[in-house]
């Protein structure tokens, strides 16, 4: 009796988890929310959806637009409202330079670097373009130059545009984005996005629970 009840509960858990990730997999509501070139170069991606998104097999590239150029799999599960960082420096150095907590996910050592006039492309596990930002004050006169100071969107609507506009502004210490100076004197607010919904941390055991439930379900099928 207990086994049957547990099996039913496990099945419901697997189905619920499957539904969660099914909705996440099709979600394209992940956006490029901050970037800076040169200096302590980085790109920030934020999950603006209401679902957990699995970054396994997601990737980044610059204006070469090559799917799989830089793997973002190490971000793993990204919670609603959570921002993650791809940096040129090592993850350890970037975290130290910006005094970031261990909770902020960072992939360091990026060698597909950005320039003054460049492009940021984010692809999902199927190789579908999720977000793109073409920028550069040379290509788009009147827009910001993010050398050593990051760029931020003034509103969520601008995130749906593939090219930078005057609705992107430079960071300033103490601004509404929570910007501050790093140890190296660069100005930004990596790992947090002021316009995002409140981040909901994932329980540490959540990924293991999914694996355990799936394994139990598989085992029950084999014995049936």
Task: Tell me the C-alpha distance between 88 and 61, whole Å.
Answer: 13
Cα 175 to Cα 53, 127, 172, 193, 220, distances in angstroms? 29, 36, 6, 12, 56
> Is residue 151 in some structural domain?
yes
Phi/psi at 110 (nearest 5 deg)? -65, 125
Kindly give the confidence (pLDDT) of every residue in the chain, 224 residues in length, as a single tens digit, with 9 standing for 90 and above.
544 444 444 444 444 444 444 333 334 599 999 999 999 999 999 999 999 999 999 999 999 999 999 999 999 999 999 999 999 999 999 999 999 999 999 999 999 999 999 999 999 999 999 999 999 999 999 999 999 999 999 999 999 999 999 999 999 999 999 999 999 999 999 999 999 877 666 665 555 544 444 444 444 444 44
Which distant-in-sequence residues (6+ apart) come within 8 Å of 9 by Cβ? none
Q: Which domain holds residue 152?
A: 2-218
Helix (H) or strand (E) holding 85: strand 83-87
Within-domain flag for 223: no
Is 82 part of any domain? yes
Question: Is 137 inside a domain boundary?
Answer: yes
Domain count, the chain: 1
Report the C-alpha gap between 135 and 65 in whole angstroms: 14
Within a domain: residue 179?
yes
Pairing of strands 42-47, 30-36: antiparallel
Q: What is the CATH number of the domain that holds 88?
A: 2.60.40.1260
User: Domain for residue 224, yes or no?
Assistant: no
Residue 94 located in a structural domain: yes
Residue 153 lies in a domain: yes
Q: Distance of CA 93 to CAs 99, 100, 109, Å? A: 10, 10, 10
Q: What is the pTM of this model?
A: 0.80
> Any residues with CB less than 8 A from the CB of 143 and at least 6 apart, and which?
135, 136, 137, 164, 165, 166, 168
């Amino acid at each position: 009796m207990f086994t049957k009840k547990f099996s039913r509960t496990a099945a419901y858990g697997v189905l619920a988890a499957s539904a969660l990730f099914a909705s996440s997999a099709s979600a394209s509501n992940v956006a490029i929310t901050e970037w800076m070139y040169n200096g302590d170069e980085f790109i920030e991606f934020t999950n603006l959806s209401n679902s957990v998104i699995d970054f396994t097999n997601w990737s980044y590239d610059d204006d070469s637009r090559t799917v799989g150029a830089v793997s973002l799999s190490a971000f793993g599960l990204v919670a609603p409202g959570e921002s993650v960082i791809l940096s040129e420096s090592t993850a350890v150095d970037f975290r130290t330079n910006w005094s970031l907590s261990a909770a902020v996910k960072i992939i360091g050592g990026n060698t597909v670097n950005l320039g003054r006039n460049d492009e940021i492309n984010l692809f999902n596990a199927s190789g579908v373009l999720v977000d793109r930002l073409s920028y550069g004050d040379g290509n788009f006169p009147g827009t910001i130059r993010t050398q050593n100071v990051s760029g931020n969107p003034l509103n969520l609507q601008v995130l749906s545009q593939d090219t930078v506009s005057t609705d992107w502004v430079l960071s300033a210490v103490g601004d509404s984005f929570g910007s501050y100076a790093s140890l190296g004197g660069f100005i930004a607010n990596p790992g947090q996005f002021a316009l995002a919904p409140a981040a909901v941390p994932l329980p540490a055991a959540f990924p293991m629970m999914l694996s355990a439930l799936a394994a139990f379900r598989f085992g029950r099928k084999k014995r049936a």
